[in-house]
Amino acid sequence: MEFNAVNSLAGKIIENLERVIIGKRDALEMVVLGLLCRGHILIEDVPGTGKTVLAKSLAISLGGKFSRIQFTPDMLPSDVTGISMYNQASQTFEFRPGPVMAEIVLADEINRATPKTQSALLEAMEERQITVDGETHILPEGFLVFATQNPIEYEGTFPLPEAQLDRFLLRVHIGYPNFVDELRILESQKITHPIESLQAVTNIEELKRAQHEVKRVHVSEPIKQYIVSIVEATREDKDVYLGASPRGSLGLYRAGQVFAILEGRDFVTPDDIKKVTVPVLAHRIVLHPSARIKDLNKDALVTEIVERVEVPVRG
């Protein structure tokens, strides 16, 4: 598969998603970017903005299996991974897979589960496998976690620890539609929901080839230095208690490669890095208590840091 084919594939997936998620192309581009990077996605938004429908639509577009996990405080890790049950007929233990065994897994309101249950996803997200009763089970090809959380209501929630937030490649906001787009939503669902007629536009094998191809996008030495300079700046900022990790640098590197392809190029420019810095880095940093008191916004802070870092003259 060549770069043009990857660009075409990404365009087909985005156009298919736009049949269901109206007026949110920027957010859809970020979701497809995460897909091509094989990166997990955290969607932070208020209820009713289409988070679940987006995850379902993506699974349909890929011809893959969709699974939803509704996180609650009484949920156990085995409710996510599955359990081993004794079969009296065969007198052996059999693995009964949990909902994590799917290509697209929606971890809905992930911050409502206890830390013990949240951690059940850590191995799956990092290693793409789970271990139950000492036995390892490989997750399906194309495995991707969509986790959602409500940024407004925190009562009865357990904030995700930094180690888990760092496993998400991107944090994406969908947001409310504008007036015209909301009218289009009403019209599109007058009789049936558009997701009911949605069809697959690719398959997991084609997606795997595309994911391999994006790694060949050229990233020059000045761009690599630019990436590391931005990440280092998050660690040195006076308002930041904990800056982005090397995983953040790798995330910027991969996201920049995919964004370049979405723009129709086979090389990365500083503008590509700028466009993906906030989605890739903002959720990875921890603010100083004094910054939180001042109600500083992580997105705005990362944007300010990017503006301070010198842009390479030659990309």
Model confidence, pTM: 0.89
Would you identify the CATH topology of the domain 217-315?
Answer: Helicase, Ruva Protein; domain 3 (1.10.8)
CATH 1.20.1050.10 matches 1-77+103-215: no
Among 286, 51, 306, CA closest to 164: 286
Is the pLDDT score of 315 beyond 60? no
- Position of tokens 């693995």? 95
User: Any bridge partners for residue 68, and if so which?
Assistant: 106
Is the pLDDT score of 153 beyond 70? no
What are the pLDDT digits (tens) for 39-54? 999 998 888 888 889 9
What are the pLDDT digits (tens) for 70-118? 998 888 888 999 888 877 887 788 888 889 999 999 999 888 888 888 8
Is the pLDDT score of 172 beyond 90? yes
- The DSSP symbol for 214 reads G
Structure tokens at 48: 């009713």
% the chain with pLDDT above 90: 50
Q: How far does CA 308 lie from the centroid of its chain?
A: 27
Q: Where are the domains of the chain?
A: 1-77+103-215, 217-315
